Amino acid sequence: MKLTILGSSSALPTSGRYPSAHVLNAHERLFLIDCGEGTQMQLRKTRIRFAKINHIFISHLHGDHVFGLYGLLSTFSLMGRTNPIHLYAPENYDKMFKSHLSDFDINLSFEIDFIPLSGKDPIKILDDKYLTVTSFPLQHRIPSYGFLFREKKSERNLIKEKIDKYQIPQVRLPAIKKGEDFITPDGSIIKNEDITLPPREPLSYAYCSDTKYFRRLASFVMGVSLLYHEATFDKGKEDLAAITGHSTTLDAAKTALNAGVGSLIIGHFSARYKDISPLVDEARTLFPKTYPAIDGKTYEVGNITDP
C-alpha cells in the first residue's frame, strides 16, 4: 500500500497546499479519497494514471473536499472513458450531484455507480479479493464519514525446495497455501509450517478528515498501520476547533494513541499556518510517530520514516 497526498489544506488553498485529496495505491488499484479543487492538476503533477481510478470516496459535502470532482469527471469523459466510476458519498449527495451535471450540461461517457453513506456505525462498503473498505461516522457540522482500507490476509508462501523434496503435486498446492498439511502416499504427515512461510501481516489505512474529537473514533480505527487524521488547528485553538467541528494536533494524536496505530499523518492544515513543523512537533509530544501530510509526497503504508 502506498499513499500519495494531493492536497493537505483546509478550506482555502495556499501557494504550497491544495485542498483535501489523497490517492491510495493498494495492489496497483487506485482509490481517490476526497476531491478538492485542483485534484486533477495534482494527479498530473504526480503522474498518477487517471484511467486506474475506479473508486472515489467523498467524506462530506464541504467544497474543499468535493469541488474538484466535477472537473475531474468531465476530464474523464473528454478522455473517452467508458469504465464506470464507483462513487461513495453521503446519501444526500446523489440528487445534488445529478443536478450539477445537468445544470452544466455535463454528459458523461460512463456510468456512475453511487453508493450512499449513512448511519451511526461502521458499514462495509467494498469487499473484493484484496481488501475491504469500511465507512464510519465522524462528528462535523454536517454528516461526515471516514474510511478504513484493510488488506485481506494473504495465503501462505510455498517453500520451493520443500515442494520439490516431498514431490508435492501441483493439484495440492492451493490447499497447502491455505494452511493444510500434506499427506504423503505412505501416509506420513508433513506439517504445513514445514513447507510454507507465513505471509506478511495485512496493512491498513484509515482516513479521518473533518471531525471534532470524540472517544469512540479510536475504536473505529483500532490498530491500523497508518492513520490520517485532520489537525486543522494547534492546541491553543481548541475553542475554535470545537466551534467549527475540527480537531487540534493533540486531538489527532490522542486518537492515534488510544487506537494503538502504527503511524499518524496529520493534515487539513488551516491556511493561517505557513510553517507546519510546529504542528507536527506538538502532536509528537503525545504520539511520537507523527508525520506531516506534504502535497505531492508518497508514503509507504507500514514503513514511514522521517526524510
pLDDT tens, residue by residue, 179-222? 889 888 888 898 988 888 887 889 999 999 999 999 999 999 99
20/109 same-domain check: yes
Active-site hit among 34, 64, 234, 251:
64
pTM equals 0.89
238/285 same-domain check: yes
Domain that holds residue 85: 2-154+200-300
CA 245, 246, 252, 256 dihedral sign is positive
Beta-carbon neighbour count of residue 231 at 10 Å? 32
Within a domain: residue 36?
yes
143/176 same-domain check: no
CATH of the domain at 50: 3.60.15.10
C-alpha cell at 197: 512461510
117/11 same-domain check: yes
204/193 same-domain check: no
Q: In whole angstroms, how large is the CA radius of gyration of the chain?
A: 22
110/204 same-domain check: yes
> What pLDDT, in 10s, does the model give residues 102-141?
999 999 999 999 999 999 999 999 999 899 999 999 999 9
CA 46, 50, 53, 56 dihedral sign is positive
Last residue of a domain, one of 170, 197, 224: 197
Number of domains in the chain: 2
pLDDT on residue 246: 98
191/291 same-domain check: no
41/82 same-domain check: yes
3-state SS class at 296: coil
211/254 same-domain check: yes
**How far is 264 from 291, CA to CA, in rounded Å?**
6
118/218 same-domain check: yes
Within a domain: residue 306?
no
185/205 same-domain check: no
Confidence of residue 306 (pLDDT cuts 50, 70, 90): low
Cβ 29 vs Cβ 52: under 8 Å? yes
Is 34 a catalytic site residue?
no
70/183 same-domain check: no
> What pLDDT, in 10s, does the model give residues 11-43?
999 999 999 999 999 999 999 999 999 999 999
